[in-house]
Chain A
Amino acid sequence: MSEESHGHDESYYIKTWLLLVVLLIISVLGPELEIKIVTFVTAFGIAVVKAALVANRFMHLNIERKYITSLLITGIAAMLIFFFGVAPDVMRHSGTNWEHVSAQEWVEHGMAVGEASGGHHGEATHGDDGHGDEAGHGDEAEHGHDAEHGEGEAEATH
């Protein structure tokens, strides 16, 4: 039994739950409007708000020692460091003096197939067929490890 008595009666938690459900409904309906910024705010912005409600009110972070919240935020900060340190290489497919050719081709191919078949994508055509041959040189060239070998066949980018 924790020594701090929260002094909340059940209605506090039930009201929080109702608020969460309302937010959920908004986040499902928002994308129906098909306006990108609305979708973004309702989907992710609301997710953050719901998370804060669950963390503060259900997990009682709001009355917990402050350094516990700092600890959890540090975890999130570590993930942000990870994301922003890695995204320049993984999220983008080109940069200063490099091109990730196989990824670029994959995106092109995927977009073409997707648009052509009107959105029905992801069937057995993916993953096992001849796309491997196309990107054959992409495997080791630009994004590969051996800088020396890569140079010879790499497409000079700048």
Chain B
Amino acid sequence: MVRALESADLTIPGGDYVAIMGPSGSGKSTLLHLLGCLDRPTSGSYRLDGREVGALGEEDLAEVRGRRIGFVFQFFHLVPRLTAAANVELPMLLAGVRPAERRERVAAALASVGLSDRADHRPDQLSGGQRQRVAIARATVMKPAILLADEPTGNLDRASGQEIIELLERMNRDGLTLVVVTHDPEVGHRARRIVRLVDGRIAEDGAPS
């Protein structure tokens, strides 16, 4: 068995802005998956909002992911056949939010990422930066406790990447806990705190130098 993470003692206070950095294979993805409840720790514990979630069953874990965690991926992961609005609506569909409320919150989420006029566009009609903004709207529409962004600018040109980071930072300023995984030092150094992983261990944890 390969141990992706050896020991990772990490506490992220609400509203924090953390960048997880490190070379590939250092365990940053595994850490992100643990934080996102996509994976369960083989040992140790993970408390989210003061609640132990490391040992929850599939169904409960799914609910935690749906309500407390927002994901933003390098490759956007929009459902290609659905419009921007429908993509943003998806987490609420799964959570069983009522239609009238869904419509309102979709509109608000799209407005917050500046894409109100693109609601009826399908992903292939949007630019990369716009797609990532739809993904951010989707990730935040459930008002999660924490937003996990996995190389959010990795697939974007500089200008769009810049816009995306600024958007995420604005949301962080409004109180959203933000965790960005990146190997781009320029992105990482904007965070309030950098966690540097090497060989599955936290080599460094502190404000950017």
A and B found bound together: no
Enumerate chain A interface residues (CB-CB to B < 8 A). none
Enumerate chain B interface residues (CB-CB to A < 8 A). none
